[in-house]
Amino acid sequence: MAQKVRGVIARGKGAPVTIETIVVPDPGPGEAVVQVQACGVCHTDLHYREGGINDDFPFLLGHEAAGIVEKVGDGVSNVKAGDFVILNWRAVCGNCRSCLRGRPWYCFNTFNATQKMTLEDGTVLTPALGIGAFADKTLVAAGQCTKVDPAVPATVAGLLGCGVMAGIGAAINTGNVGRGDSVAVFGCGGVGDAAIAGARLAGAHTIVAVDIDDRKLAWAKEFGATHTCNSQKADPVAYIKSVTDGNGADVCIEAIGHPAVYRQAFDARDLAGTVVLVGVPRPDMTIELPFIEVFGRGGQLKSSWYGDCLPSRDFPMLVALHQQGRLPLDKFVSESISLDAIEEAFHKMERGEVLRSVVVL
Query: Residue 35 is inside which H or E element, if any?
Result: strand 31-40
Per the omega criterion (within 30 degrees of 0), is the bond before 104 cis? no
Name every residue whose Cβ is closer than 8 Å to that of residue 266 and which is 6 or more positions away in sequence.
Answer: 252, 275, 289, 293, 301
Q: Which has the closest alpha carbon to 204: 180, 226, 184, 187?
A: 180
Residue 280 binding Zn ion, by CB under 5 A:
no
CB 39 within 8 A of CB 62: yes
Residue 317 binding Zn ion, by CB under 5 A:
no
Residue 107 binding Zn ion, by CB under 5 A:
yes
Nearer to Zn ion by C-beta: 162 or 333?
162
Residue nearest to ligand NAD (CB): 189
Residues that bind ligand NAD (CB under 6 A): 42-44, 47, 162-163, 166, 186-192, 210-213, 216, 231, 255-258, 261, 278-280, 304-306, 349, 352
Which residues, listed in sequence order, are joined to residue 31 by a DSSP beta bridge?
Answer: 141
Task: Round to whole Å and give the CA distance between 189 and 89.
Answer: 21
Minimum distance from residue 166 beta carbon to ligand NAD (Å) = 3
Minimum distance from residue 194 beta carbon to ligand NAD (Å) = 8
Minimum distance from residue 301 beta carbon to Zn ion (Å) = 23
Task: Round to whole Å and give the CA distance between 246 and 242.
Answer: 5
Minimum distance from residue 144 beta carbon to Zn ion (Å) = 14
Task: Choose the binding region for Zn ion from 139-147, 161-169, 195-203, 240-248 (rule: CB under 5 A).
Answer: 161-169
Minimum distance from residue 219 beta carbon to ligand NAD (Å) = 9
Nearer to ligand NAD by C-beta: 138 or 304?
304
Residue 255 binding: pick among ligand NAD, Zn ion, none (C-beta 5-8 Å cut-off by kind): ligand NAD
Question: Backbone phi, then psi, for 36, in 5-degree steps?
Answer: -75, 135
> What distance, in Å, lies between the first and last C-alpha atoms of the chain?
22
Nearer to Zn ion by C-beta: 125 or 133?
133
Minimum distance from residue 27 beta carbon to Zn ion (Å) = 22
The DSSP call for residue 166 is H
Nearer to ligand NAD by C-beta: 136 or 314?
314
Nearer to Zn ion by C-beta: 41 or 361?
41
Minimum distance from residue 191 beta carbon to ligand NAD (Å) = 4
Name every residue whose Cβ is closer than 8 Å to that of residue 194 and which is 6 or more positions away in sequence.
Answer: 163, 164, 165, 166, 167, 168, 170, 223, 332
In 238-267, which positions are buried (b, 16+ CB within 10 angstroms) versus exposed (e)? ebbbebbeeebbbbbbbbbbbeebbbbbbb
- Output the CA–CA distances (angstroms, integers) from residue 290 to 247, 253, 282, in the order listed: 19, 19, 22
Residue 96 binding Zn ion, by CB under 5 A:
yes
Which residue among 8, 10, 24, 42 contacts Zn ion (CB under 5 A)?
42
Minimum distance from residue 77 beta carbon to ligand NAD (Å) = 28
Nearer to Zn ion by C-beta: 99 or 185?
99
Residue 99 binding: pick among ligand NAD, Zn ion, none (C-beta 5-8 Å cut-off by kind): Zn ion
Task: Round to whole Å and give the CA distance between 195 and 236.
Answer: 18
CB 106 within 8 A of CB 77: no
Nearer to ligand NAD by C-beta: 285 or 289?
285
Q: Give the interface with Zn ion as residue ranges (CB under 5 A).
A: 42, 44, 93, 96, 99, 107, 109, 162-163
